[in-house]
Amino acid sequence: MNILVTGGAGYIGSHTIVELLGAGYDIVVMDNYSNSAPSVIDRIRRIMEEEKQTAGAGNQGRIIDVVEGDVCDKAALRRVFENNSISAVIHFAGYKAVGESVEKPLMYYRNNLESTMNVAECMKEFGTEYIIFSSSATVYGMNNRVPFVETMPVSCTNPYGWTKLMSEQILRDMAAGAPDKERPDYRFRPVLLRYFNPVGAHRSGMIGENPKGIPNNLMPYIQQVAAGIREKLTVFGDDYDTPDGTGVRDYIHVTDLAKGHVKALTWALSADDSQWEAACEAASSSGGAAVFNLGTGRGTSVLELVTAFADVNSVPVPYVIGPRRAGDIATCYADASRAKEILGWEAELGIEDMCRDSWRWQRLDF
Ligand code: NAD
Ligand code: UFG
């Protein structure tokens, strides 16, 4: 079964490919390397080679095609569908920086929406039914009731978030649309995965997140402070209504997140009509899409993460308390029970694993 992974050389995509290959799926990658590099694919191959040596080839899938190309280039995307029989798409390709999206909204709307529409159009044209879409907990907006449940009202506070919400809506509307008269059996089945805060790296230290410039996110910033690249972390506010006054988030190990994609794909491919409809109904606003939070269900504060990182890795992480960052909420964590009930998935790795693996990735110099 060939799975097209758009944005497969990126942070979450690369870890997901490792898990998909391990589960026996064959992979086609399309990435324009705007925020990654072709060397990531070589490293995935090395990880799989090493896993073969230790665990045996087993049921390992293959990377059957790697295409350097822009998903917004419809003709190039069509060629990928033409050259490979695609059973499902996991659509990661997109821009993801909240601050940059405020400065360059059109760039975000163009890339994130056009890529989603092109993927959906090609799927329809070539009869591909299943798409797993990278959404985000950002769609819960400034909601201040935790945990966040899939049935909660959604809204956004920045262009990046709107591209996620609009993409969700596009895919929902496609699923709810009239059946194709020429292919009455064709069903468009989107699975919308709302990620909480992905951190960590593959346990081999060979792939991880590689932010360009000054990191916006907490964990990459902590890593760079620990490595001496930055002098100190600024904690954005210690006067929130949280146990220690600093912001609370649901950090999830990227390997757990990657496994969530494999579970979602395997479930979607095997769900019969009634299982599919029951999953869609369970999230009242979801229309014809199945929606799942991917988080641990546990909140960790900024200071707890800093302390855990310093303790686990025996490395100092100097910090100062600064003002709040505009647009931040106090607390955000998932109700992760739907993914457990329906997909049979739950996060297994804890904060210590996330800190250890982030540091291993930061220190390994290729
Ligand atoms: P990433 O930037 O590491 O990966 C995205 C990949 O897509 C990169 O390899 C980039 O080169 C590629 N890409 C971007 N636009 C493209 C295009 N038009 N055509 C082809 N390739 C293109 O980001 P990530 O952290 O792996 O995130 C993957 C997806 O998950 C994104 O859609 C992101 O919005 C979403 N997401 C990420 C987070 C997070 O905190 N990392 C949280 C929620 C949702
Ligand atoms: N923080 C600091 N100092 C820093 C960076 C972050 O104190 O230098 C704090 C933030 O104030 C927040 C916490 O660390 O309390 C986490 O911040 P991140 O920037 O790592 O993550 P966010 O929760 O703000 O945002 C992330 C993704 C977004 C996504 C959002 C929704 O970056 O793309 O989760 O869940 F939209």
- Considering only CA atoms, which residue is closest to atom 6 of ligand 1? 7
Report whether 155 contacts 162 (CB < 8 A): no
One digit per residue, pLDDT tens: the chain, 366 residues?
A: 999 999 999 999 999 999 999 999 999 999 999 999 999 999 999 999 999 888 766 789 999 999 999 999 999 999 999 999 999 999 999 999 999 999 999 999 999 999 999 999 999 999 999 999 999 999 999 888 999 999 999 999 999 999 999 999 999 999 988 778 888 889 999 999 999 999 999 999 999 998 888 999 999 999 999 999 999 999 999 999 999 999 999 999 999 999 999 999 999 999 999 999 989 988 777 778 999 999 999 999 999 999 999 999 999 999 999 999 998 999 999 999 999 999 999 999 999 999 999 999 999 855
What is the atom index within ligand 2 of the atom nearest the CA of 236?
7
Nearest to 343 by CA among 255, 253, 282, 254: 282
Mutate to test the pocket of ligand 1, among 29, 30, 79, 96 (most ligand atoms within 8 A of CB): 96
Strands (DSSP E) contained in the chain are: 2-6, 26-31, 63-68, 86-91, 130-136, 189-195, 197-199, 233-236, 248-249, 251-253, 290-294, 300-301, 319-322
Q: Ligand 1: does its nearest atom lie under 6 Å from the Cβ of 13? A: yes
Determine the distance separating the centroid of ligand 2 and the alpha carbon of 218, expressed in angstroms.
Answer: 6
What is the atom index within ligand 2 of the atom nearest the CA of 96?
33
For residue 365, what pLDDT is reported? 59
Report whether 252 contacts 195 (CB < 8 A): yes
Q: Which ligand is nearest to the CA of 69?
A: 1
DSSP state of 340: I
Q: Exposed, middle or buried: residue 245 (CB in 10 Å: 0-12, 13-18, 19+)?
A: middle
How far apart are alpha carbons 176 and 351 in whole angstroms?
A: 40
Report whether 88 contacts 122 (CB < 8 A): no
Mutate to test the pocket of ligand 1, among 91, 92, 136 (most ligand atoms within 8 A of CB): 92
For residue 208, what pLDDT is reported? 97
Determine the distance separating the centroid of ligand 1 and the alpha carbon of 136, expressed in angstroms.
Answer: 11
